[in-house]
Structure 1
């Protein structure tokens, strides 16, 4: 049995027993990659940044969600044309040559390893909410951050299937609080918190232009399912579906989550908040619920300094 022609060499590749039995990523693991990489710190603080625009800021979320879906469809189409490991690197190399592919791969690689430390520190910062003594242990914060990085590396060393299962579990744990806020929180919305709907007085186009820089960053990670294409089961079908499904899921959570936070926290309070989802959860479920959605101290300090400059 042979595989389709290789996109770069035009030669038919033989399917070996090792290739036939190699663990692969399915639709759920690929969708988890997309969702897990999109939903991050860019979303945690966005309701506070959008508070000056009122509920009309949801127009910006909808506009950016549509744009993200269009970009996701582009990646889905490219994955169908070239289901090769590397994602953006593979597409750039195929279209513009090796040098362009090298530049894309180099920049993408730098962005990944440069963000690992911040992600590990954010993880440890969240643990500090439940283990306050961790912040005061000499070297404890650094040790836990390094241990978290090595744990993820060890899981990946066990193979693609283990990494895929780990991604599904962690994304599920991350999504549960946000889904609870976005869906259950609809019953706690106070209409007076959403009035006036457009306090900025901007036109529809002006709102989209003003909020685009605040919402665009939250959708980074759409390309995630295309990167491990060589380990994906039936990539020509799985990657496009996972990309569209993951992007659509994130868009709905962004829109509903922002609506709930704006509807439960007064605008003046929300504009100064360093943990908007935590504040909304406190209104609904008290301290226990808010602790699950409280950003690490680093992000809270960043939000306060940003609000002070504004």
Structure 2
């Protein structure tokens, strides 16, 4: 088959962005949001996060257009800060992807438990066995070819959007303004109080940022797109669709139940809300939609980390073994390596009380590394070309994006950010091995050695916090 026919168009890439982001989080977002924010604070939080996500997308679209020679999120960090910078970004992205799959495994089994009670809370032996079968099935599909998996992803995306669309239509019809406005600001006085409302917004950051993980999917597969412009366009279209779906799905429940009632619901809370409005079939529909949704997101997040390690190996940021591909142009070694690590982590679900929350918190913290380094390169590139038309605006966009995601790291829980550093220790070993494969005499310069030292120091702090119970898993 000619190479051109395999290239991905706008439809496939938009589906990848949407499917990569809409996974398990949206089906539980009513309870997660109600637990941290009142309706008024939630609206402001969505505006803040929406602007932050838009700024990141603008950075991606600008860099894809200005540097079409670069491939993969990590490539921007490498171009701006050298090979070790590229490794740090790529490893963070890779970590985020497969840790997200662990979160999917837990939530998927919880949804299956609605139909088959033997699965319990999604963390018993039966759940682990079935989740493991799905995990290796994903590995098998992607190993048959990334482009074929992307086409399947389009079908899955359409299927999982149907129950969400139905929920929003029913919720709009059943919406009661008096319930929505009863405790609009969630303050003691009932009025807008800056400190209290800002605290609610800050507490909701991890939940909101988690549902946007995957927005960079089109940029990650830009090499497999028909053109770089197609990848940029797909990123923006995907963001707009996500914002519409997310804001409606998270805000409408405030007009169906009181905040206290929503907080007490089980997961996936969307199903319980719909069941309260239309009856038991609503919960069945949402749980079925959740299973399909996670399947699609899990598929996307099996493609993306495999593509990351493949590209990193080509850039000599990981050993050459990670860059070996089969006849279907899929990196088998990278896929199997990632699947084994995910399998090990899935086994730990037997000993973790809040596996889903812990996994998605780690996933989100890891992706922050890649996102903020994209923004940092945007700043560097725009400053270097500041005399050219439009670059002053791009510089401002990059600076604001850096500030936003720096704050997001703090607001979402700095301890999870530190915990990700522990996984960098293995990664640094692989990076060192890769640089030696190309006979590089001095692998680290002074700045890189200092950065590696900071990472290791942060990992030690994280381990201490974990042992002393300051970080609960």
Same-fold call, TM cutoff 0.5: yes
Q: Are 1:289 and 2:272 an aligned pair?
A: no
Structure 2, gaps ≥5 residues long = 292-348, 359-473
Q: Are 1:258 and 2:256 an aligned pair?
A: no
1:258-289 per-position Cα deviation (integer Å, ceiling 9, x unaligned): 22211112222012223331222112221111
Aligned residue number for residue 183 of structure 1:
169
Q: Are 1:199 and 2:186 an aligned pair?
A: yes
Alignment of 1:263-282 (within 5 A): 263-275=255-267, 276-282=269-275
| 8 Å CA contact retained: 2:185, 2:197 | no
The Cα shift of 1:187 comes to 0.3
Structure 1, gaps ≥5 residues long = 1-16
1:142 aligned to 114, 128, 151, which one? Answer: 128
Q: Are 1:248 and 2:248 an aligned pair?
A: no
| 8 Å CA contact retained: 2:54, 2:239 | yes
The Cα shift of 1:173 comes to 2.4
The Cα shift of 1:191 comes to 1.9
Structure 1's 39 and 203: CA in aligned 2 closer, same or farther, altered over 3 A?
farther
Structure 1's 209 and 183: CA in aligned 2 closer, same or farther, altered over 3 A?
farther
Quote the RMSD (CA, aligned, Å). 3.1
The Cα shift of 1:27 comes to 0.9
- Partner Cα distance (2:12, 2:59) in 1: 20
1:109-167 per-position Cα deviation (integer Å, ceiling 9, x unaligned): 2222333233233323322222334559x954233212212222222222233111121
- Partner Cα distance (1:148, 1:167) in 2: 15
Aligned residue number for residue 11 of structure 2:
28
| 8 Å CA contact retained: 1:190, 1:264 | yes
Alignment of 1:95-114 (within 5 A): 95-114=80-99
SS at the partner of 1:233? coil
2:209 aligned to 216, 222, 236, which one? Answer: 216
The Cα shift of 1:231 comes to 1.0
**Runs of 4+ in structure 1 over 6 Å off:** none
Alignment of 1:24-63 (within 5 A): 24-51=7-34, 53-56=37-40, 57-63=42-48
1:165-201 per-position Cα deviation (integer Å, ceiling 9, x unaligned): 1211222222222222223320011222112322324
| 8 Å CA contact retained: 1:79, 1:240 | yes
SS at the partner of 1:40? coil
- Partner Cα distance (1:33, 1:292) in 2: 23
SS at the partner of 2:211? helix
Aligned residue number for residue 82 of structure 1:
67
The Cα shift of 1:71 comes to 1.2
| 8 Å CA contact retained: 1:31, 1:243 | yes
The Cα shift of 1:206 comes to 6.1
Aligned residue number for residue 64 of structure 1:
49
| 8 Å CA contact retained: 2:24, 2:107 | no
Aligned residue number for residue 3 of structure 1:
none
- Partner Cα distance (2:193, 2:162) in 1: 35
Aligned residue number for residue 108 of structure 2:
123
Larger relative contact order, structure 1 or 2 (CA cutoff 8 Å, min sep 6): 1
- Partner Cα distance (1:117, 1:54) in 2: 30
1:55-108 per-position Cα deviation (integer Å, ceiling 9, x unaligned): 212222122112211211211222223346752211111122111001111222
Aligned residue number for residue 470 of structure 2:
none
2:117 aligned to 106, 121, 132, which one? Answer: 132
| 8 Å CA contact retained: 1:85, 1:228 | no
Aligned residue number for residue 141 of structure 2:
155
